[in-house]
Amino acid sequence: MRPVTLVTGASAGIGAELARVFAVHGHELVLVARRAERLTALADEIAAAGHTRPIVLPADLESTGAVAALAASLTAHGVEPAVVVNNAGFGLMGAAAELSHAEQLAMIDLNIRALTELSLTFVDSLTRHRGGLLNVASVVAFMPGPRMAVYCATKAYVLSFSQALHQELAGRGVRVTTLCPGPVATEFQSRAGFRLDGPQGLLALPARRVAEIGYRGFVRGKRVVIAGFGNRIAVALLRFVPSALPLALLDRGMGRMAHRT
């Protein structure tokens, strides 16, 4: 079995940039997302740049059985993951009681269930290749987020789960890094239903920069990587303020962003 790096959510945004960065560093890739044509275009681009042509495996990771089907496809291609980059995810802005309950449950299926299954399914091959997991959370993982309640809770799960796995798998030589980006201008905002401007826009980093920071942190075996100085300061400050304050500020800030869509 050839070792590969499997990247979920590689059809856009941070995932596409993570794929490009891993390719530049010599990783053979498997690209996963729903939009096959986007994945094929990225595979063409990576191959044209002189890297090994990525394998394209379109999949809807919200559906039960998707990870088992992916595992079977990898075996059929004669490859197994040395690295899994769990990047696919989405958020929704609005009051949890008012947003579609079905869509919020689908978010849990993608952001939590699929990430967990992908993190656990390939532990033996990650161990064989002394590779690891790069799981994408968010700076919102460090606090509850009114008007993005389910999304923030999914990212708190990713942070908690991945840190525990970092400890559990260290003895096997498997590194587990949680990447926590702040705001990044991608398709994320239009899907979630807001525009990136105001104070959030000031903290924004380009997706390529976030991918490079994530890659470097992963290679160094960091447990948690918060992308960007401003975001590191913001997270550090949270320790010193009573929790009611960021809750109220976020509620107001998110409310303003939602009204600008």
- Total Cβ atoms within 10 A of residue 113: 18
**Encoded tokens for 4:** 């590969």
C-alpha closest to that of 27 among 169, 129, 173: 129
Give the H or E element holding residue 57. strand 55-58
Q: What CA–CA distance (Å, rounded) separates 62 from 255?
A: 28
Q: Which of 142, 151, 161, 218 is catalytic?
A: 151
Q: Using a CB cutoff of 8 Å and minimum separation of 24, what contacts does 237-240 make?
A: 238/142, 238/143
> How many other CB atoms sit within 10 Å of the CB of residue 26?
9
Cβ-based nearer residue to ligand NAP, 188 or 215: 188
Characterize the bridge pairing of strands 79-86 and 175-180.
unpaired
Q: Which position's Cβ is nearest ligand NAP?
A: 13
- 27 or 113, CB closer to ligand NAP? 113
Other beta carbons less than 10 A from residue 108's beta carbon: 16
Any contact of residue 184 with ligand NAP (CB under 6 A)?
Answer: yes
Phi, psi values for residue 251, rounded to 5°: -55, -45
Binding to ligand NAP by residue 85, rule CB under 6 A? no
- Quick check: 110 binds ligand NAP (CB under 6 A)? yes
Residue from the set 62, 80, 117, 212 that interacts with ligand NAP by CB under 6 A:
62
Q: Minimum Å distance from CB 233 to ligand NAP?
A: 16
Minimum Å gap between C-beta 104 and ligand NAP is: 14
Active site residue 151: yes
88 binds ligand NAP (CB under 6 A): yes
Does residue number 14 form part of the binding site for ligand NAP (CB under 6 A)? yes
* 12 in contact with ligand NAP (CB under 6 A): yes
**Using rule CB under 6 A, residue 136 touches ligand NAP:** yes
Residues involved in catalysis: 151
Q: What residues line the site for ligand NAP (CB under 6 A)?
A: 8-15, 33-35, 38, 59-62, 87-91, 110, 136, 138, 181, 183-184, 186-188, 191
